[in-house]
């Protein structure tokens, strides 16, 4: 199979779909890999690294999209990339379609086969291809929040860990999943006063066992969320509904109640955000103020640490990629329901319920579409 890796063109996105090591895994199996010139430069991978791994360096994205049977990316295709996608071409990347109607309609029109990293599952219902970037984003959320709390960033002028004789900052983490757990790792390391809010008592017990008295596990069904948010210095939004738009847990009124210079880091912004006042920002201009509260809502946070992120992502995405390249998408998806969960758009039809519900569009069962009755009676 011919696998294409275009350079990421989303603003301030420096990751790349494949590392040289992943390219070698493909070329060792006699697959052809096309990498756009200097596509991995910002992540610390040179053209020579890719050539040594067996890739061909291609000068333009147009040539890659025209030639490749399977496109591997990191972020969702941008508008000019959507125009280059061919019918039947496999697109393997993060899509986050429930928060992107124009992109969804463009992919439907392209009649391509779109497999989203963020909705592939495992046998325990977890999201193994989303997890590595959620871990990175969770850890970065506290770094970003700590920086945004500085006075020259219009924050409260607080150090998360306080100082001898000075209280630590109150850090409230909404969601105890991968984002929340990793945010807690950094926040407790900085010696903040850390509240982790989740609706699952079982998950809170797991986190308490992991962190001990370093965190305050908080049951969302019993907590006074208004009070908790009004008293916090740093709020991290890490709530996720797989493949669907994030729930708006923090209202405008709650934001108004927050202290002047407090900070919100909405990690869920890729899926629309879990704070009502959130809107996507970039690494170039990461923050804005609403009611004197600093909002950090960068939609591709892990892109700020592209080398770490690219390597972590490839560890998770390579196994499915190798199967897609070795045996094609039909056999791969038919054989494994967890992989099938990643299919969001198939040849002009939406095959993921969270996306169809978000835009009130028709949903089609992916297993029904992939099952070719003609082959049975041939």
Q: Are strands 343-346 and 349-350 parallel, antiparallel or unpaired?
A: antiparallel
CA-wise closest residue to 22 among 314, 324, 323: 314
Question: Is the pLDDT score of 30 beyond 90?
Answer: yes
> Which pLDDT value is given to residue 372?
63
> Which pLDDT value is given to residue 270?
87
Task: Quote the Cα angle for 290-292-294, to 5°.
Answer: 70
> Which pLDDT value is given to residue 169?
97
Residue of higher predicted confidence among 245 and 120: 120
Among residues 49, 96, 198, 233, the one annotated as catalytic is: 96
> Which pLDDT value is given to residue 11?
85
At 375, the pLDDT band (50, 70, 90 cuts) reads very low
| 49 assigned to active site | no
Q: What percentage of the chain reaches a pLDDT higher than 70?
A: 98
Average pLDDT over residues 76-93: 97
Among residues 14, 198, 270, 295, the one annotated as catalytic is: 270
Torsion of CA 150, 152, 156, 161, to 10 degrees: 10
Average pLDDT over residues 345-351: 97
> Which pLDDT value is given to residue 280?
95
- Cα separation, 116 vs 243, whole angstroms: 9
In Å, what is the CA distance from 340 to each residue of 24, 40, 110, 236, 251? 26, 29, 20, 31, 35
CA-wise closest residue to 219 among 209, 238, 232, 205: 205
Q: Which of 27-31, 101-105, 245-249, 349-353 has the lowest mean pLDDT?
A: 245-249
Phi-psi region of 104 (alpha: psi -120 to 50; beta: other; left: phi over 0): alpha
CA-wise closest residue to 1 among 24, 37, 40, 29: 29
At 71, the pLDDT band (50, 70, 90 cuts) reads very high
Question: Is the pLDDT score of 115 beyond 90?
Answer: yes
Q: How many residues does the chain have?
A: 378
Question: Is the pLDDT score of 363 beyond 90?
Answer: yes
Question: Is the pLDDT score of 373 beyond 80?
Answer: no
> Which pLDDT value is given to residue 84?
98
> Which pLDDT value is given to residue 242?
78
Q: How far is CA 333 from the centre of its chain?
A: 22
Which CATH architecture fits 131-304?
Answer: 3-Layer(aba) Sandwich (3.40)
CB 298 within 8 A of CB 285: no
Domain edges within the chain: 2-111+306-376, 131-304
Same topology for domains 2-111+306-376 and 131-304, yes or no? yes
Question: Is the pLDDT score of 249 beyond 60?
Answer: yes
| 147 assigned to active site | no
Average pLDDT, the chain: 95
> Which pLDDT value is given to residue 195?
98
- Cα separation, 235 vs 254, whole angstroms: 11
Q: Which two tokens stand for residue 270?
A: 């890729």
Average pLDDT over residues 25-36: 98
> Which pLDDT value is given to residue 351?
97
CA-wise closest residue to 296 among 310, 311, 307, 282: 282
Which CATH architecture fits 2-111+306-376?
Answer: 3-Layer(aba) Sandwich (3.40)
> Which pLDDT value is given to residue 303?
92
CB 255 within 8 A of CB 276: yes
Alpha-carbon Rg for the chain in angstroms: 22
Tens digits of per-residue pLDDT, 187-243? 999 999 999 999 999 999 999 999 999 999 999 999 899 999 999 999 999 998 877
Tens digits of per-residue pLDDT, 174-195? 999 999 999 999 999 999 999 9
């Amino acid at each position: 199979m011919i696998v294409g890796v275009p350079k990421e063109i989303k603003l301030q996105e420096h990751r790349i779909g494949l590392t040289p090591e992943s390219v070698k895994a493909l070329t060792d199996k006699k697959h052809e890999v096309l990498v756009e010139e200097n596509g991995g430069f910002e992540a610390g991978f040179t053209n020579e690294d890719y050539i040594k791994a067996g890739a061909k360096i291609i000068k333009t994205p147009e040539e890659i999209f025209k030639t490749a049977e399977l496109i591997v990316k990191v972020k969702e295709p941008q508008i000019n990339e959507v125009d280059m996608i061919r019918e039947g071409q496999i697109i393997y990347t993060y899509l986050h379609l429930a928060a992107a109607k124009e992109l969804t309609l463009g992919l439907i029109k392209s009649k391509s086969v779109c497999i989203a990293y963020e909705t592939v599952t495992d046998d325990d219902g977890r999201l193994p291809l989303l997890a590595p970037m959620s871990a990175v984003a969770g850890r970065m959320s506290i770094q970003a929040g700590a920086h945004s709390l500085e006075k020259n960033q219009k924050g409260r002028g607080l150090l998360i860990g306080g100082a001898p004789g000075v209280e630590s900052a109150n850090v409230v983490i909404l969601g105890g999943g991968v984002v929340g757990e990793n945010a807690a790792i950094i926040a407790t390391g900085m010696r903040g006063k850390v509240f982790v809010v989740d609706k699952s008592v079982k998950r809170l017990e797991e986190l308490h066992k992991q962190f001990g008295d370093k965190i305050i596990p908080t049951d969302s069904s019993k907590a006074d969320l208004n009070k908790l948010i009004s008293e916090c210095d740093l709020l991290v939004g890490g709530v996720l509904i797989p493949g669907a738009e994030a729930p708006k847990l923090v209202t405008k009124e709650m934001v108004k109640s927050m202290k002047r210079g407090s900070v919100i880091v909405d990690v869920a912004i890729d899926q629309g955000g879990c704070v009502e006042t959130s809107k996507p920002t970039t690494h170039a201009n990461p923050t804005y103020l609403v009611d004197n509260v600093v909002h950090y809502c960068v939609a591709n946070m892990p892109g700020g640490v592209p080398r770490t992120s690219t390597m972590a992502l490839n560890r998770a995405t390579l196994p499915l990629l190798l199967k897609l390249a070795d045996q094609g998408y039909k056999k791969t998806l038919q054989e494994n329901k967890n992989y099938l969960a990643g299919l969001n758009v198939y040849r002009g039809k939406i095959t993921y319920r969270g996306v169809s519900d978000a835009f009130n569009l028709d949903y089609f069962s992916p297993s029904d579409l992939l099952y070719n009755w003609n082959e049975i009676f041939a």
